[in-house]
Amino acid sequence: MLMGTEGDRVLLQIKDASKAPVFTKPLRLDGKTVSRWGSIAHEAIIGKQSRDVVVTNTGRELRVRYPTLDEYVTLTPRLVTPVYPADANLMVSLLDLHVSPRRTAPQNDVPLEILEAGTGHGALTLHLARAIHAANDPPPTQRLHDLEPERSDASQVEEGNHSKTDMNMLQSKDGAHRTALASSSWRSQRRATIHTIDVSSKHSKHAQTIVDGFRQGMYSQNVEFHVGDVSNWIDEQLLLREGNILGSETAAFLSHVFLDLPASYRHIEKASSALRADGMLMVFNPSITQITACVEVIRTLRLPLVLDRALELGPNMTRGKDWDIRAVKPRALIKAENDKKEALVSGNSDASTKSVEDEESAEIQVETKTRDEEQAQTLAQEEIGWQMICRPTVGPVTGGGFLGVWRKMKQREI
């Protein structure tokens, strides 16, 4: 494999592989990379085959190779902590994506659209884009000559009246316009797309450079970058796709949704409205309490989502550690409630009935007071913006977190 052109990043490794490789800056014809083994001009790297040997100014021989996707997302400069490769690979595998080229896909096959809210470094974006890559035809890389009209003799005579520089400029603009039209047409016919959105334009631009920089941007055409609030973006998309009633199953256009946001629970209702039946909603957060907040919102709003699994991700957890997260009532409380119901129905004396009612009234007052206090405390926390953090503190925390996975039910299942 050729080391490509300017803009590529490659790894330089000493021949015996005893030391960690050096990750170059984007290659430039006038650039160079300085390492512990000496410096080497980028001009000597560009055009080399993978595993070829290059020589530094000190005479040390280094092998050249492309970084793997895991190495690339780990070694590239970052503005935020990335989703580390082990976690990203697990998340993508849980989506159980199976794409096929256009020529083998069914005629009525609906496009695959995945939303990632919280672009961040672009690490998960790249893993998702790679997973869907086979579904799309290669993007147009040349001008569409078949769109160019035949030129008449009159037009050729007219061209003779222009300078060569003017004609080159006109041809360049015309070619760029046709290439843009071809690209727009290709994008509208994609069978798989990753929509990724971030509230920070700075982070989004940086993530786009990360995606574009991997192997000459081989996956970048599968991704659409957006900046803004994810709930607002979903509303805009539902309106743009026209003729659908918000919240109905026919309005849904997303195959899967991934939320990596500090307050993911605030966007679950909107995400659910745009998620197709049997689609997956994944929420990735550093604390288990953030996942339980999502469980509570889904239960309270009676959203058509069923918890498939909750996983703890981290070092040495290849498949994650399962957690049991449910909203339940203690058995003792259920038994007490059943006993009270039986006492009311059994036709006891007025005195005993009055006693039970008085007891229930007192308990209701206490319960109401407790709930009011809890609600006030919750509202106070939300106004301040605080969230409870519960996670291990033993050893350094590198990657990992908690992943909630829900599936969208059909309306008749509810």
From CA 257, how far away is CA 245, in angstroms rounded?
A: 20
Number of other residues whose CB lies within 10 A of the CB of residue 81: 12
Of 190, 230, 233, 2, nearest to 101 by C-alpha is 190
The 3-state DSSP class for residue 410 equals: coil
pLDDT band with cut points at 50, 70 and 90 for residue 40: very high
**pLDDT at res. 145:** 39
Of 74, 32, 77, 88, nearest to 57 by C-alpha is 32
DSSP 2: B
| Whole-number CA gyration radius for the chain | 29
| Sheet of 305-313, strands arranged across | 223-227, 192-198, 112-117, 254-259, 275-285, 401-408, 305-313, 321-323
**pLDDT at res. 364:** 44
Q: What is the pLDDT of residues 97-138, one digit of tens each?
A: 998 876 666 666 788 999 999 999 999 999 999 999 999 988
Single pTM value for the model = 0.74
**144-148, 241-245, 275-279, 380-384: which has the minimum mean pLDDT?**
144-148
Cβ atoms of residues 273 and 238 within 8 Å:
yes
Cβ atoms of residues 287 and 402 within 8 Å:
yes
Q: What is the pLDDT of residues 291-310, one digit of tens each?
A: 999 999 999 999 999 999 99
